[in-house]
Each structure stands twice: as structure tokens, then as C-alpha cells.
Amino acid sequence: MRIGFDVRPFLKEETGIGIYFRNLLFSLSQIDQDNEYYLFSSSFKDRFLTHKIPPFSRMRFRDFPIPVKAVSFFWNKLGWPPLDYFFKTGLDLTHSPSPLILPTKGKKVITVYDLFFMDFPNMTDKEARKDFLRKTEGSLNKADGIVTISQFTKKQLTDRFSLDQNKVKVIYLGLNQSFWKVMSQEELEETRTKYALPSTFLLFVGALEPRKNLLNLIEALKIIHEKHKKILLVLVGPKRQDYINIINKIKELELEPWVRMMGYVYEKELRTFYRLASVFVFPSLLEGFGLPLLEAMASDLPVAASQTSAITEIVKDACLYFNPYDPEDMAEKIILVLEDKNLQHALITRGKRRASDFNWERTAAETLSFYRSLLER
């Protein structure tokens, strides 16, 4: 079986989609010695780093100096050229990291994480508004297989579109084993000193975009300061389209000394943030999965999160839930976790138990089985 992938989502900084695809491919390289893998990347100025190339035993990797926008234009607008063209061979199956199919002569698989771009179009980025809204329905119909990362997203799809249930497969994401490792005091103190972190602080991890609902979290922080005590909020993640709004909200509420935006942080240092924090807060309005939740739970960090979308499916009883639209409720739940040592211990224990249910090898095995089933049909 010749399988093609677009690996551009983890060309540079990795957030949700990039983390998913990188881990999927590296895990596939560990369990599959039989099939041939064809990996495509393109960028006018950035080259794919060697250590990021999955070590498949049978692989062809092509990295073209073609602008990302040019490739996306031809694929999304014209459906041409097929991915097969870049490798001068016919591909049996391609797997797209987005809801839009990759043009190919073989079977087509897509991954749909959620339908946020349909539910909240005004909160999505320009690319999602331009391409996903117009193209997704047609892509769903043309795809031979659809991977979703939660039952929540599968239900969203089947409720809205007339899809063959057999071509929609729920495959949960995994968790990097590194988040289970206990870190040395020296490593932790190095990060604490580098960023001048106090002994107690709240942590959020994710892109600074509207769906993450950080404006309400900052409102909640102001309430926590008034009802509990002053505490630092640390935001770790790339600065996306909500960055300026967050800056303005911080200034409006006079919280400049109490909110720190760290930008994108690589995994090793990210692990220390989880280990140093007091409570992980995840106020997202809608998630198809929520990988940072697993990372926090594996890191012995109690979690407070939105009672919405796939979050309750993934976390179950391992966090304290709040209404993401109500900063008062959010603040009350965070204060409760900060003050109640028994609750902290219970959440940490349940969190570790729940996080242990997820691993990338299982994700890869189920995905590979899905590929095979599609080719057998």
C-alpha cells in the first residue's frame, strides 16, 4: 500500500493539527514496516528539519521550495495537481490533515477535528472562512474515509450531513510519554528562575485565538483577585488573532502585572510549566478533543475546564467543570480548586487514571486498520 501525506502542519511550530499528524506518523513508522509512505512538504523559505522526518523503513520524502499559499490555491481551488504527480507514482491512499481532501487518483481520507468554523465563523481565521466553509461539504462527500477525534465531532458530522456511517471512524488522539516523566528539581527551578514564576500560578496552554475564550478567563481572573487573592495567570501558546483583544482586556481590567503571555514553548520547557503550575484552566468554547487536558492530567496538575463539546467526553470525571460563558462561575470553580486540598488530590488521581487511557501507538494502529479497511472495500 502506497500512502501519501501532507506534512506541512508540523513544518514549523506545532499546535493541535501539527502535534496530531507528527505523532501519528512517528507512531506509524514504529508499527508498520510493510507499507510505503510518501511525505510531501513545501515552503518558499522554510526547509523541513531532518529530525522531524518520521523514520519509516519504506519512505519517499519530498520538500519543495514552493510557497504554501500557492500549493493551497491549486489544491483547494483547482483540485490539481494530484499528490501522486509529485512522486511520479500512483498512490493507493492519501490522508489529509484538514477537512479538505488531497487531490489523488487513490482513496481519500480526511480528518475532521470539529466544526467550529461552521458554528462560530466570525471567530475563525481567514483561511477557514475562505476555504473550509465553502469546501467542506463537498470534501466530506468525495472522501472515502473520514477520521474524527471524538464521538462529539462524529455526531456533529452525522447530524448535519448525509454521510455513510461506515466511512466515519472515531480515533482518539494519544499522549506523549514524556509528559509522564517526573522532572528534576533542577529542571523545574531553571524554568521558574528563567521566567520569574511564583510558587502559585494558573496555567493555560493553547493558541491565543477566540475559540479559547481567554477574554472570559481574564474577566474571571479579576473576580478571583477580588474574592480570593491576587494570582498570576500564565498563557502559553502562539499569538494568534485574539492577541490584541487579550492585551486590551488586560489593560481595561488593570491586570498587566498578573497576566503573562509566553508565546510558543517547545515540549521540554512546556513540561516544566505543567509541573510548576497550581491549576490548569481550559475555558475553550468548543473542542474536538483538547490535547493540553491530557498533558496537564499526566503532569499531576488539577484541571478546571469548560463543560462543553468533546471536553467532557475526553476528561470525564477528572476535572472541575464550569460554564465557559460565565466568568463568575469560572472564577468560583478555580478558587475552589485552589483552596480545597482534598479536591486537588482527587482531581490529580482521576486525571492520571484517565490520561493513561490514551497513547499514540493505539491511535496509529487504529488509523492503519482504517486505511486497510478502505482499500478492501
User: Which sequence spans correspond to the domains of the chain?
Assistant: 2-174+359-376, 177-355
Partnered with residue 37 across adjacent β-strands are: 3, 59
Specify whether the CB–CB gap between 237 and 205 falls below 8 A: yes
pLDDT band at 13 (very low <50, low <70, confident <90, very high): low
Within 8 A by CB and 6+ apart from 125, the residues are 209, 240, 241
- Stretch among 31-45, 204-218, 340-354 having the lowest mean pLDDT: 31-45
φ/ψ of 249, rounded to 5, equals -65, -40
Average pLDDT value over all residues in the chain = 94
Q: Residues 220, 149, 97, 155: is their CA dihedral positive or negative?
A: negative
Percent of the chain, pLDDT > 90? 80
Determine the Cα–Cα distance for residues 107 and 202; give it in Å rounded to an integer. 45
Determine how β-strand 279-282 pairs with β-strand 320-322.
unpaired
Angle at CA of residue 80, ends 141 and 132, nearest 5°: 45
pLDDT of residue 134: 83
Residues 52-106 pLDDT 10s: 899 999 999 999 998 988 988 888 888 889 999 999 999 999 999 989 999 998 9
pLDDT above 90: residue 178: yes
Angle at CA of residue 305, ends 337 and 111, nearest 5°: 155
pLDDT of residue 100: 92
pLDDT of residue 177: 93
Specify whether the CB–CB gap between 11 and 41 falls below 8 A: yes
pLDDT of residue 125: 74
| Entry pTM | 0.94
Mean pLDDT of 235-244: 94
Per the listing, cell 467532557 goes with 312
Determine the Cα–Cα distance for residues 344 and 348; give it in Å rounded to an integer. 6
pLDDT band at 43 (very low <50, low <70, confident <90, very high): confident
pLDDT of residue 167: 94
φ/ψ of 172, rounded to 5, equals -65, 150
Specify whether the CB–CB gap between 193 and 286 falls below 8 A: no
Mean pLDDT of 295-303: 98
Determine the Cα–Cα distance for residues 29 and 86; give it in Å rounded to an integer. 21
Partnered with residue 110 across adjacent β-strands are: 96, 146
CATH topology of domain 2-174+359-376: Rossmann fold (3.40.50)
pLDDT of residue 354: 98
CA distances from 365 to 1, 25, 27, 47, 359 (A): 15, 11, 8, 29, 10
Output the nine-digit C-alpha cell for 363: 491511535
Determine the Cα–Cα distance for residues 358 and 177; give it in Å rounded to an integer. 10
Determine the Cα–Cα distance for residues 70 and 79; give it in Å rounded to an integer. 12
- Stretch among 72-76, 125-129, 185-189, 272-276 having the lowest mean pLDDT: 125-129
pLDDT band at 303 (very low <50, low <70, confident <90, very high): very high
Within 8 A by CB and 6+ apart from 32, the residues are 56, 364, 368
Asked whether this chain's domains 2-174+359-376 and 177-355 adopt the same fold, the reply is yes
- CATH annotation of 177-355: 3.40.50.2000
Determine the Cα–Cα distance for residues 359 and 23; give it in Å rounded to an integer. 10
pLDDT above 90: residue 377: no
φ/ψ of 147, rounded to 5, equals -95, 130
pLDDT of residue 75: 87
pLDDT above 80: residue 11: no
